[in-house]
Amino acid sequence: MDNKTLKSIRDAEKASHIEIYTTAKLFESGSWLQKPVKTVMDLTPYFQNYNNINILDLGCGIGRNCIALAQEFKSKCKIDCVDILELAIEELNNNAVRYGVENEINGIFSSIDDYIIPANSYDLIIAVSALEHVDNIESFKNKLNEISKGIKENGIVCLIINSQITEINKENGQQLTPQFEVNLKTQELLDLLKNAFDGWETIKNTVRSQRYDIPRENCVSDLTTDVVTFVAKK
Ligand SMILES: C[S@@+](CC[C@H](N)C(=O)[O-])C[C@H]1O[C@@H](n2cnc3c(N)ncnc32)[C@H](O)[C@@H]1O
């Protein structure tokens, strides 16, 4: 992908998140922000005996998953939360105060690409609908490698990634460029995950085809995607 296409995808992506983060409220009905992702929250029993849990949330948004985790593990966790959007980090910090978890939440305004994951430092790394927005496939592969090295022994990775995405203009049926920086074929993504986390215990590895309407700059897009959910223990 050339720099111009990358910039236009990124600008559209930022605009659509600014729209939702300024109109919808965390944990209130009416948008996808209304509750945390079940697959993420299902992991909490794995850490019940921990007193000090280090978590990384890549592309955290305004805290849908990390704030719920911080509430669950109050006083027992530190969560580094990374997002490319300054507004997301501002709202994350506001939500952390609102939900009484400001000591647990560490908002970091950075792209996932630029945030270097230190080796052997996290018990749980999550990335929900975020890794497909890194700069390019090389960066994606590097990040998987960093994630795998960044997780401590017995730690868990939880990745939810869109693949094989198509977008069609609903009004005139024209094919659109999917607004995702990395759009892998589903099998290619599954192979990359298998390689990056080779030898780990698989907890969940599913592919779910989804179709929904999504507002784009000048139209409504009919979007299809394979949502890959990958959870594994080191
Ligand atoms: C679909 S939202 C998901 C947010 C959150 N993970 C959740 O489940 O509620 C994707 C988020 O990733 C952020 N994002 C997109 N590209 C990014 C990048 N390259 N680096 C860091 N964050 C990014 C967006 O700003 C947005 O907040």
- 122-149: pLDDT as tens digits: 999 999 999 999 999 999 999 999 999 9
List, chain by chain if needed, residues with CB within 6 Å of any ligand 1 atom.
13, 17, 59-61, 64-65, 82-85, 88, 111-113, 128-130, 133-134
Instruction: Give 191 Cα–ligand 1 centroid separation in angstroms.
Output: 23
Task: Tell me how far CA of residue 125 lies from CA of 53, 146, 180, in angstroms.
Answer: 11, 11, 21
Which pLDDT score, from 0 to 100, does residue 101 have? Answer: 98
Of 102 and 13, the structure prediction assigns the larger pLDDT to 102
Buried b (16+ CB within 10 A) or exposed e, 117-138: beeeebbbbbbbbbbbbbbeee
* Residues counted in the chain: 234
Q: pLDDT tens digits, residue range 155-196?
A: 999 999 999 999 999 999 999 989 899 999 999 999 999 999
pLDDT above 90: residue 151: yes
Domain spanning 3-165+181-204+228-233 has what CATH number?
3.40.50.150
- Protein residue with least CA distance to atom 20, ligand 1: 111
Strands 151-169 and 105-109: unpaired
Mean pLDDT rounded to a whole number for the chain: 96
CA R_g for the chain: 17
Reported confidence tier of residue 230, pLDDT bands at 50, 70, 90: very high
H helical segments located in the chain: 3-23, 38-41, 66-72, 86-98, 137-150, 186-196
End-to-end CA distance of the chain: 33
Which has the minimum average pLDDT: 10-24, 44-58, 109-123?
A: 10-24
**If you measure from the C-alpha of residue 130 to the centroid of ligand 1, how many angstroms do you get, rounded to a whole number?**
5
